[in-house]
Structure 1
Amino acid sequence: MKAKWIIAGAGVLVVAGAGAMPWVVGYVTEQQWQQVTRELNQSQQFVQMQTEDYRRGFFSAELDGAVTVLNPETGETHPVEYRAKVTHGITGSLIDFKPVDGWAPEGAGWFQEEPRLTLESRLWGNAVLELEAPAMAINDPEGGESLRTSSGVIRVELSDAGSKAEALVVWPQLSFTGPDMNVRVNDFRAEQSMSHLNGDVWTGTMESSIASVEMTSSAAPPVTLEELRASSSTEAKDDGQRLDSRLLIEAGKVRLEDEAYGPHKLSFVLEDLDVASWGNLTTSIAELQNTALASDAGSREAFERQMAAMGQVSMAMRDLAVEGFSVGFPEISLNTPEGAVTGSVMISHPELADDQKGEMLMVMQQLTGSMNLSMPAVLADEYPGVRLQLAPLIKQGLLVPEGDRLVMAAKLNDMVISVNGQEIPLPPLF
């Protein structure tokens, strides 16, 4: 009998605990929301979130607020007021956001049905932000422009208290029609995985692809880019002290009238970066941007802050250089009907010993690099636009004929660039 009462009592406690969980979840959700918005506002100036009222109940809550977006070019701000309904569950909450003035101007009819923006959070700190967008049609009769998109989805998942992120964007179709040009994008997809390393530095991978981009114009033949791909990776090494980052952009084919040629490839690398110095550089650049966007940007005090921020950027660049790095485009490959255009550009700075770091006056002093370019000479012969761009280089001997090709071979050392045997001293810029 005693065992039965113990089991019954335990059952009552479990039921009572489960019944109380929505209140606990609601309380934690409110605290998480306040913390996230505070950290977002402190980390940058471009998107600011304000929560004007948070009304929490037992099984649900409601909140009112505004998102203010800053245009970095003009300094103008655009506020968007929103309302959200929060549903509390056993282990997490679901927040459903809606703009107060709707997703489109009244009577515009942009969407076949309303978009849905939700945030799903868990007690242990995981969160999923998802935008489900229906098909959209925006027309501008005065300008003769229109934008059409299929339904699409944007999903961002955060875990490990925000130190890891997974993002997915899928948009099957997008088209823009204007008086001078029409553009159609088919099957856009992007996936990104990120992990926080240190400060403002993140590691991870990104993969994106577009099946085709079709461009038609009344002033030029139609052009189609097919099998577009971009991939990047950022990896830490040496126990998180160094960083390598790579970006690869590829196009399978370019179709122009009745011809198709490809593939094309462009790669970019940042190698052996010191993580601490790189983090300081990105932070100082962000601070410089913030000073330029400050409300008193034209005042003397703002000018002094900008000069101080520029000094911090210069110092961060110097600190990055003394630790050593390599940067450039190791592979450039463009296939044309007349032949391939190939090249590479790389610049490096050696890591300095401790007794040398304090003596370095300029970053340029110990920069070394190389540049190589090779292209069919017929490109300059047959195409006036290309010939106009290349003529000064050919005249100065920077591009020289080698068989049926034009080539450039350049080296950088001791602040002197040697191009095809010609030496060009560089001015001391930084």
Structure 2
Amino acid sequence: MNAKWMIAGAGALVLAGALPWGVGYLTQQQWQQATKEVNSNQPFVRLETGDYQRGILGSEVIGTVSLINPDTGESRRFDFQADVTHGVTGSLMDFEPLGGWSSSGEDWFPDQEPQLTLETRLWGTAVFELEAPRMEMVDVDTGESLSTSGGLVRVEIRDAGSSADALLVWPALALTGPDINLRLSDLRVEQTMNHLTGEVWVGSGEMAVNSLSLNAAQELPVTLDRISVRSRSEAVDSGQRLDSRVAFEVEGVSLADDSYGPQRLVFALEDLEVEAWNALMTGFTDLQSAAMSSSGAGPEAFEQQMEAMQQVNEAVRDLAAAGFSLGFPELLVTTPEGQVTGSAEIRHPELTADEKAEMLMVMQRLTGDLNLSLPLALVEKYPELQLQLAPLIKQGLLVQQGNRLVMKADLQDLVLDVNGEEIPLPPLL
């Protein structure tokens, strides 16, 4: 009996030692796969691993992160190191810049250093977390300073990368200098994402800011209260169609001694065919990648750009033939002189296979409408605005109705009817 227990105990010890080694091996494979996906799925960040020293209970990683400007191709490189701890069901990676968190000779974090970690599990879950303490940065040459409270950034990736939750909480940020004073309070961002297919993700998100104030030299102080951005994208019709909506809102605006609000703008995309939308997103990604190709302006790069452009054109055609609508169903701008209101929508009907085959242009069957109303007192108070709107008023595109200026427009058969004035549109698409 004792021998059996000794054998079982020895087996348990071997298993306990082997599990961290196996976890370390899988962690290295996951890191290599994640690096490959980061570099291939977007052109803005490039991740490179210089050295990966894997042990039984832990590993050490040295690498670089390059931030790339897609327009110029310029990049800024940051070297990092990570200490990896292997557990029984996952690993914990603790990252730190090789040069430290502060610039040479500076102490940006007087209380403690930031902590940046990545926790992974064998079943495909990963949690990226940044805990940032209070920060103080001062530029002695310009007299500008940046100070922030402690903050938290957390991204949880589940189901082998097919779903993710993100959270950002930052109570306070201030940028001050001789000519500017910018303050932000209570920033919170939440985002939930689920992969639908290809380049298409669905989910919901919200960004909220309690207040944002700006006091610049030679300008009136401005404060925006309770800013919010809410978005939602969802699959409908058994995942074949996509609806998306984004709402921007500012509860109050304070300018000098005046205060007014709310301000609201809503964008909406409805009934998009998922397959065509995915092809369009893929085409844009390929077009951007081709434009940034290191091969420059050679024949191969030009051919790649033409292929991507052709893919975009075909996707737009397929998207229109499947039917869709887009626009802003709600516009509300509150001013001391009154409210500016409006809405607009562009639609394309769903076509049969025969109608699609005969389709010459996307614009041919587009229909739409636009409504805009603004107070006459607003135009009369600001001469610059009056000069900009004067041609529209003269042509009858803005007409006076009581104490308001109104525009009502309808689009059909490549003709835009604005307050009874018909404007033929050129067939551009």
* TM-score (norm. length: structure 2): 0.96
Residues 1:369 and 2:391 are matched in the alignment: no
Tell me the amino acid that sits aligned with residue 401 of structure 1: Q
Q: Evaluate the alpha carbon distance shift between residue 299 and residue 141 of structure 1 in structure 2; reply closer, same or farther with a 3 A threshold.
A: farther
**Deviation of residue 397 (structure 1)?**
1.3
Output one character per residue of 1:225-261: Cα deviation in whole Å (capped at 9) or x when no partner.
0011111000001111100000011111111122211
Q: Aligned with 1:277: secondary structure?
A: helix
**Deviation of residue 407 (structure 1)?**
0.5
**Deviation of residue 361 (structure 1)?**
1.5
Q: Distance in 1 between matches of 2:62 and 2:216?
A: 46
What are the residue-to-residue correspondences of 1:16-415 with 2, within 5 Å? 16-112=14-110, 113-415=112-414
**Deviation of residue 16 (structure 1)?**
3.6
**Deviation of residue 12 (structure 1)?**
5.0
Contact 2:43 2:70 in 1 (8 A): no
Q: Distance in 2 between matches of 1:137 and 1:388?
A: 46
Q: C-alpha root-mean-square deviation of aligned residues, in Å? A: 1.6
Q: Tell me, which stretches of 5 or more residues in structure 1 are unaligned?
A: none
Q: Distance in 2 between matches of 1:80 and 1:423?
A: 58
**Deviation of residue 13 (structure 1)?**
3.7
**Deviation of residue 302 (structure 1)?**
2.4
Tell me the amino acid that sits aligned with residue 62 of structure 2: D
Output one character per residue of 1:307-327: Cα deviation in whole Å (capped at 9) or x when no partner.
332222112111111111111
Tell me the amino acid that sits aligned with residue 31 of structure 2: W
Tell me the amino acid that sits aligned with residue 205 of structure 1: S
Matched-pair identity in %: 55
Residues matched between the structures, number: 428
Q: Distance in 1 between matches of 2:3 and 2:383?
A: 95
| Comparing 345-354 and 7-16, the one that deviates more | 7-16
**Deviation of residue 298 (structure 1)?**
3.1
Q: Distance in 1 between matches of 2:243 and 2:357?
A: 26
**Deviation of residue 126 (structure 1)?**
0.4
Q: Distance in 1 between matches of 2:100 and 2:154?
A: 21
Q: Aligned with 1:22: secondary structure?
A: helix
Q: Distance in 2 between matches of 1:329 and 1:396?
A: 25
Q: Distance in 2 between matches of 1:362 and 1:152?
A: 51
Q: Distance in 1 between matches of 2:288 and 2:143?
A: 36
Q: Distance in 1 between matches of 2:185 and 2:141?
A: 27
**Deviation of residue 138 (structure 1)?**
2.3
Q: Tell me, which stretches of 5 or more residues in structure 2 are unaligned?
A: none
Q: Evaluate the alpha carbon distance shift between residue 8 and residue 388 of structure 1 in structure 2; reply closer, same or farther with a 3 A threshold.
A: farther
Q: Distance in 2 between matches of 1:107 and 1:218?
A: 31
Q: Distance in 2 between matches of 1:69 and 1:122?
A: 28
Q: Distance in 1 between matches of 2:421 and 2:5?
A: 92
| Comparing 272-281 and 113-122, the one that deviates more | 113-122
Q: Distance in 1 between matches of 2:241 and 2:13?
A: 52
